């Protein structure tokens, strides 16, 4: 499984832009490519898959242990010619200010992936060698190559021999490409569908990188990655149930591995659009993932037949999993970015409002206290939202890596709904428990 990880000393170094350009260059060469994003981010994998056409997923060492992480990687990577993993934050940055747990470096070590360090060289020349030397000598790592970003060809020619003397492969440099920068918004990059001429931009970027990077050397480095020992995790099989999965421009934040785990447990996934379809499909349960309902309030409000269909199904006891944007959809009203309120489903007789600040952010461990799952069931997830509810729920316990604890999530026995994004592979029994409720509903 040829593979490389693109890491950087810090956020804002150009990882996503350069990773997208490398992926496009590999695809343009006719290679079958898979891509991964370290950490819980949804939008970067969406870019990789929807715009470039690669199979893209998340790799997160907080959510799952080493064996499961290797399995999730290998299941996709083994079907392609080469895999590119995009790092998160700085290479060694993890759960806390003083540890590298769940960092890009930990993912690289677990998956034995050669790392290419991307160094932003704006305003520096010889000093970038000190940065490189420090990263090579700090802690265990898999750094085997380097790319110098925002560096001129003249400076690169002078720096390259000194970098090679440190024992790393110098993949090349990236000149300043201001016309190819990707835009962003509060949850990360703007969605792929919103970028004008994005495909054209990435093809141009790939052409630039073919000139300034040694893509053949990158492939050679990826091909030198060692074999991995893979152990498939055990997943409970529940039975044949149909699960309606909300999927459109408003509901698009979904971990692909969550869907695949539901498949493994016996579910048939039936996509539907809360914006465009008239009513929910003929299903035994519903899943509403996160997304941007606040950006599509008018369209959601206009589709009254769908909202009524969802409300009736939930009142009839149809099992449901809803998180973040999907949870917002189940409220009475949601405020948009301009302060206008829009009608939602109304299952929760509360409103969602714009706090205009990051309300909650980061990894959490969750414990079910009562409801759909046995008391004490553990789960891992992530929160990142600027909007908040008048009642975010209190049926589960949440704890952050810092030790801070709080209550969250509504658990009615047939529904789990709240702001946390859940990662099903952190405890497959959570997905299985939901499907068991769906099976009971089907039999009724």
Quick one: which H or E segment has residue 188? strand 188-189
| Predicted local confidence at residue 209, as pLDDT | 95
Q: How far is CA 9 from the centre of its chain?
A: 20
How far is the C-alpha of 319 from the C-alpha of 287, rounded, in Å?
Answer: 9
Say which residues have a Cβ less than 8 Å from residue 2's Cβ, sequence separation at least 6: 81, 82, 83, 219, 222, 223, 225
How far is the C-alpha of 144 from the C-alpha of 117, rounded, in Å?
Answer: 8
Q: Which of 20, 252, 265, 324 is catalytic?
A: 324
Number of residues that make up the chain: 444
In degrees, rounded to 5, the angle at the alpha carbon of residue 386 between the alpha carbons of residues 47 and 421 is 60
Quick one: which H or E segment has residue 379? strand 378-385
369 is catalytic: no
How far is the C-alpha of 250 from the C-alpha of 273, rounded, in Å?
Answer: 9
Q: Which residues of the chain have pLDDT under 50?
A: 185-189
What b/e string do you get for 200-232 counting C-beta neighbours within 10 Å, with b at 16 or more? ebbbbbbeebbebbbbeebbebbeebeebeeee
Tens digit of each residue's pLDDT (9 = 90 or more) over 50-106: 777 888 899 999 999 999 999 999 999 999 999 999 999 999 998 888 888 889 999
* pTM score, whole prediction: 0.91
Tens digit of each residue's pLDDT (9 = 90 or more) over 135-172: 999 988 899 999 999 999 999 999 999 999 999 999 99
- Of 1, 4, 2, 14, nearest to 169 (Cα)? 4
Residue pair 344/293 in contact (Cβ under 8 Å)? The answer is: yes
How far is the C-alpha of 119 from the C-alpha of 156, rounded, in Å?
Answer: 12
In degrees, rounded to 5, the angle at the alpha carbon of residue 340 between the alpha carbons of residues 407 and 321 is 35
- Rounded to whole angstroms, the maximal C-alpha distance in the chain is 74
């Amino acid at each position: 499984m040829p593979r490389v990880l693109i890491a950087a000393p810090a956020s804002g170094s150009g990882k996503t832009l350069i990773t997208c350009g490398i992926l496009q260059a590999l695809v343009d060469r006719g290679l079958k490519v898979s891509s991964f994003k370290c950490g819980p981010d949804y939008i970067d994998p969406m870019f990789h898959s929807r715009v470039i056409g690669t199979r893209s997923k998340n790799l997160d060492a907080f959510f799952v242990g080493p064996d499961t992480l290797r399995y999730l990687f290998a299941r996709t990577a083994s079907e392609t010619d080469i895999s590119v993993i995009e790092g998160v934050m700085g290479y060694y940055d993890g759960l806390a200010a003083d540890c590298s747990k769940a960092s890009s470096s930990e993912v690289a070590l677990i998956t034995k992936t050669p790392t290419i360090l991307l160094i932003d060289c704006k305003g520096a020349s010889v000093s970038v060698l000190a940065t490189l030397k420090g990263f090579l000598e700090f802690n265990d790592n898999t750094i085997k190559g380097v790319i110098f970003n925002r560096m001129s060809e003249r400076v690169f020619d002078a720096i390259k021999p000194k970098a090679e003397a440190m024992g790393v492969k110098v993949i090349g440099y990236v000149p300043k490409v201001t016309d190819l920068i990707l835009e962003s918004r509060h949850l990360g990059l703007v969605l792929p569908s919103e970028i004008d001429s994005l495909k054209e931009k990435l093809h141009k970027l790939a052409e630039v990188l073919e000139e300034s990077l040694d893509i053949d050397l990158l492939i050679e480095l990826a091909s030198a990655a060692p074999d991995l020992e893979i152990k498939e995790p055990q997943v409970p099989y529940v039975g044949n149930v149909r699960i309606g999965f909300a999927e459109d421009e408003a509901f698009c934040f979904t971990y692909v591995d969550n869907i695949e785990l539901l498949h493994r447990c016996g579910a048939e996934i039936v996509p539907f659009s809360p914006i465009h379809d008239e009513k929910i499909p003929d299903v035994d349960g519903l899943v509403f993932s996160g997304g941007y309902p606040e950006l599509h309030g008018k369209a959601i409000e206009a589709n009254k037949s769908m909202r009524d269909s969802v409300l009736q199904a939930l009142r009839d006891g149809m099992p449901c999993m809803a998180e973040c944007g999907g949870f917002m959809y189940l409220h009475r009203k949601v405020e948009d970015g301009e302060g206008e309120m829009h009608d939602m489903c109304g299952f929760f007789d509360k409103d969602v409002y714009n706090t205009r600040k990051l309300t909650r952010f980061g990894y959490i461990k969750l414990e079910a206290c009562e409801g759909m799952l046995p008391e004490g069931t553990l789960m891992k997830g992530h929160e990142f939202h600027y909007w908040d509810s008048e009642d975010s729920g209190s049926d589960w316990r949440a704890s952050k890596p810092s030790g801070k604890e709080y209550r969250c999530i509504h658990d009615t026995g047939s529904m789990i709904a709240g702001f946390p994004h859940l990662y099903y592979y952190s405890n497959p029994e959570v997905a299985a428990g939901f499907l068991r409720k769906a099976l009971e509903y089907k039999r009724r």
